[in-house]
Structure 1
Amino acid sequence: MIDLGISKMALIGAVALIVIGPEKLPRVARTVGTLLGKAQRYVADVKQEVNRSMELDELKKMKDTVEGAARDVENSIQTSASDFEKSWAETTGSAELPGMESFPEYKHPKKNWRLKAGATPQWYKVRAGVRTKALSGAARVARYRPAKFN
């Protein structure tokens, strides 16, 4: 890297003062400062992106190793379970394990179990005069029409 000490910075400043002039030097210094700041931010962003991609690669490798271990465990469990079933069938003479009788599929006891049941009892609603069914406009007119128009 370039080693910039105080003496070199003073020399660069003196040359810039002579070449650019005292009127334009502050504006040029601000511009150079903003450009250097943008360059530093860009370099930092690139470094972060490289670090993220490296971490992503490491995570992918770790995921592959964990999935491979899970597959190995699953295969070993399946083979041991099949060996156990074979040995059980040989010793007992039946293919079914105890407690593994075939049962019908579970069915929820309520017919419409997804519908929410109200907490207020129906008898209370009838006694208090709460409407439980919505009437259309025509049905409401027909129900509450005075007797002389029927």
Structure 2
Amino acid sequence: MLDLGLSKMALIGAVALIVIGPEKLPRLARTLGAMLGKAQRYVADVKAEVNRSMDLEELRKMKESVETAARDVEQSVQTSASEFEKDWSQATTGLETSESPPWEPPPPKYKHPGKNWRLKRGAMPQWYKARTGVRTKALSGAARVARYRPQSLN
């Protein structure tokens, strides 16, 4: 890149001040700064895009290696399964009978749970609710007013 020191920058500034003039120099500096910022952002975007493409290529290579490893594992499992099937068929050739083996217990019979699904059962017993004064029945607003209305003095 350019090797600009403080003395060279001062020289360029002095020449620009003389050539361009003091009226137009601030506007030119702002414009130059904005263009420099845009150029830096563009370079950063290009760098990021290159990095993304490199990462994507690495991911593709990794995906291919994982897929080949999975295919190898699948083939080895299939070959071992076919060998197991052959060994199993050889071991069980004379054992085919129609009745169930004596070591298997019969399946359990269905028993109805005997619950009354219409009756809601609470965890707290009724006798405990009665002893502690827990309200078991809900009252409407009118019934509550009628029940707790003070008696008139007649």
Q: State the TM bucket, normalised to the shorter chain.
A: 0.5 to 0.7
Q: 1:91, CA displacement in angstroms?
A: 2.0
Q: 1:92, CA displacement in angstroms?
A: 1.6
Number of residue equivalences: 96
What letter is aligned with 2:77? I
| Structure 2 residue runs without a partner (length 5+) | 97-117, 119-154
Q: 1:59, CA displacement in angstroms?
A: 0.4
Counterpart-to-counterpart distance in 1, 2:30 and 2:77: 70
Taking the TM superposition and a 5 Å limit, the aligned residue runs for 1:15-54 are 15-54=15-54
Structure 1 runs of 4+ with >4 Å offset: none
Q: TM-score, normalised by structure 1?
A: 0.61
Counterpart-to-counterpart distance in 2, 1:51 and 1:7: 37
What letter is aligned with 1:82? S
Aligned to 2:93: 93
Q: Which has the larger radius of gyration?
A: 2
RMSD: 1.5
Q: 1:80, CA displacement in angstroms?
A: 0.3
Taking the TM superposition and a 5 Å limit, the aligned residue runs for 1:54-133 are 54-93=54-93
Which structure has the highest helix share of the two? Answer: 1
Counterpart-to-counterpart distance in 2, 1:21 and 1:11: 15
Q: 1:88, CA displacement in angstroms?
A: 1.1
SS in 1 for 2:54: helix
* Identical pairs, percent: 76
